[in-house]
Chains A and B, each alone.
Chain A
Amino acid sequence: MFEPVLLRNVDVPNGHLLSTYEAGGGYQALTKALREHTPDEIIDLVKKSNLRGRGGAGFPTGAKWSFVPKRAGKPKYLCCNADEGEPGTFKDRIIMERDPHQLIEGMAISAYAIGAETAYVYIRGEYTLAICRLERAIAEAHAKGYLGTRILGSNFSFVVHIHCGAGAYICGEETAMLDSLEGKRAQPRLKPPFPAVEGLYASPTVINNVETLACVPHIVERGPDWFRGIGPDKSPGPKLYCLSGQVRKPGLYELPMGIPLRELVEDCAGGPLPGRKLKAVIPGGVSAPLIPERGLDVRMDFDSLAAAGSMLGSAGVIVIDDSTCVVKVATRIIEFFHHESCGKCTPCREGLNWVVKVLRRVEAGQGAPGDLEQLEALCKGIFGNTFCALGDGAAMGLRAALAHFEHEFVAHIEERRCPFH
């Protein structure tokens, strides 16, 4: 039986308070890290755990940390990516609202490992309750000596600041987030240099997602072997899955990495609504290509989903049933990417504008023969040609909808109406 660790406090009354967190063993991992391990040993533990970034890209966390130069001659920064804008995703909000100390402890250990004395939590401005709770938790942690100068009698000093976003999906892209933190319009940067070498204020910077950082105390406390023992060896650990859409029991579920998507949707989330059948599932936020019902036996980990032509992304699992028009879903997804395109590069800014126009007319029953070829030509012009992954995500999502549900697009054009309305 799998025992939840990341969500163990979320349903505990007053789980957001320090006293509750401490009563459950909180901050013991930080104490252990500072007293028993050097920073390099912490990096090694995380490397051995095979923890991969939970924000979407799945980059190995220990490797990312090890890219930070040991002697930089500049301050180093830790940034927590709490912008959580990927549609279908709400896991980080729930951690911050209900168990903010888990994140703070993870940040303190991570900062110790990379040698950072300052962290910024870039949290989306809409998350007011999470911001309030995190602010309060930071103050509590300071008062108790888990943050501040010479933490727990060690030589390690560390402070955490909150930086509120103001509504821009692109800030989830790590270099756009850094520009935003520097007070600029959020636009991605050309890499290299990578943030680990030249990030915030041109200083070495590590950017990790909330859930990634929340895994760190558990790895320190229980050891990397425990972590690797959960789910597939190359992509292990406990994982938060956000279930939403046309499903009986939407919500946040913690289960091992690598659980079959079908089990997640049908068993955990109760399957489709009464009288409905599953049609497709978006497994990792709208950037992840949808998977038709027949493909639901795929396992929910980075490698299995990549092999199936989709991606784990943020594990925002959106369930679509047979009452829903895929053209409408695809249109809404591309409208989102078009709205959130930062405007920096032409293929994304202009290409998505064009795609939206074609999709809207197809959905409205005014599509023309050749529109599907036009859409594919546009995808080709966008995919691989954009500054960041936003354009790629849009093109991949649309291509999957076209590949698996071409008949629905064709029906719209031939019948000159949406068959679902």
Chain B
Amino acid sequence: MTMREKIEEAAARYPDQRSAIMPALLIAQREHGHLPGPLLEEVADILGVERIWVYELATFYTLFHTEPVGMFHLQLCDNVSCMLCRSEDLLRHLEEVLGIKNGGTTPDGLFTLSTVECLGACEMAPVMQVGDDYHGDLDITRIDALLDRLRAAAEQVTGPDLTAAALAGE
């Protein structure tokens, strides 16, 4: 299906097209990796809604990225439960091995590192989301092994999202 077809299919679930903006943005971002201005305008045009309505959602919700992010977005939870399980040490380690600060992207475009609010997986704190996947009970050894796996995966596949394929296989 094209992006337009996916968006139109999602929009059929609502009596009001404005409700479909959020699902449409999620679809557009999954296809393109992030949401540049022209893409927001395309979404507005597909749904036939005001452009400002699309802009205001794209800039309000934290899962929407109006700027490019790396192939792997490392989203490390640093809310209370993870903080109590020393997520700060993991952040320092990631900053060191990737050579970037929290919020930054590696020059090769492979990794973006962000701390995020609670991911709702505190039973496996400290936890980090990468693409669609949660990685829990992390320590420095596991983080290093995960980075190795991601680097290896990047050589096999290109595109903003690898894990959708894994989930689809379920």
Contacts and interface: CB of A to CB of B under 8 A. Distances in A.
Interface of A: 84-90, 92-93, 124-129, 132, 161, 163-169, 180-186, 201, 242-246, 250-252, 282, 286, 316, 318-320, 324, 328-329, 332-333, 336, 339-340
Nearest to A185: B60
Contacts of B61: 165-168, 186
Contacts of A182: 16, 18-19
Most buried by A among B81, B123, B134: B81
Interface stretch (B21-29, B92-100, B143-151, B152-160): B21-29
Most buried by A among B56, B61, B118, B132: B118
Contacts of A88: 80-81, 118, 122
B17 to A, nearest CB: 8
Contacts of B57: 166, 183-185
A124 B75 CA distance: 15
Given A92-B120, A126-B120, A244-B81, 13 more contacts: A86-B118, A87-B81, A90-B121, A126-B119, A128-B163, A129-B167, A132-B170, A163-B23, A167-B61, A183-B22, A242-B123, A245-B80, A245-B122
Given A128-B132, A181-B19, A166 B26 contact: yes
Interface in B109-145: 117-125, 129, 132-134
Contacts of B22: 163-166, 180, 183
Contacts of B19: 163, 181-183
B85 interface: yes
6 contacts: A87-B117, A126-B129, A183-B18, A186-B60, A201-B15, A336-B117
B167 A183 contact: no
A185 B18 contact: no
A92 B122 CA distance: 12
Nearest to A93: B120
Contacts of A336: 79-80, 117-118
Interface residues of B, number: 45
Nearest to A246: B84
Contacts of A128: 132-133, 163, 167
B118 A318 contact: no
Contact of A339 (B13, B17, B117): B117
Contact of A126 (B63, B83, B84, B167): B63
Contacts of A168: 60-62
Contacts of B123: 90, 242-244, 250-252
Contacts of A201: 15-16
B58 to A, nearest CB: 9
A87 B81 CA distance: 7
Contact of A332 (B60, B83, B122): B83
A246 B22 CA distance: 37
A256 B15 CA distance: 41
Given A132-B167, A185-B60, A245-B84, A166 B118 contact: no
B20 A183 contact: yes
A84 B134 CA distance: 16
B120 A90 contact: yes
A161 B13 contact: yes
Contacts of B23: 163-164
Contact of B121 (A93, A282, A324, A339): A93
A276 to B, nearest CB: 11
A87 B60 contact: no
A406 to B, nearest CB: 20
Contact of A184 (B18, B25, B26, B80): B18
Contacts of A282: 80
Contacts of A244: 81, 84, 122-123, 125
A39 B128 CA distance: 44
A124 B120 contact: yes
Contacts of A184: 18, 53, 56-57
4 A-B pairs closest in CB distance: A166-B61, A183-B18, A244-B122, A167-B62
Contacts of A166: 22, 25-26, 57, 61-64
Given A168-B61, A251-B123, A252-B123, A318 B26 contact: no
A206 to B, nearest CB: 18
A282 B81 CA distance: 10
Nearest to B77: A87
A85 B119 CA distance: 7
A249 B87 CA distance: 18
B97 to A, nearest CB: 24
A244 B64 CA distance: 28
A255 B64 CA distance: 38
Contacts of A87: 79-81, 117-118, 122
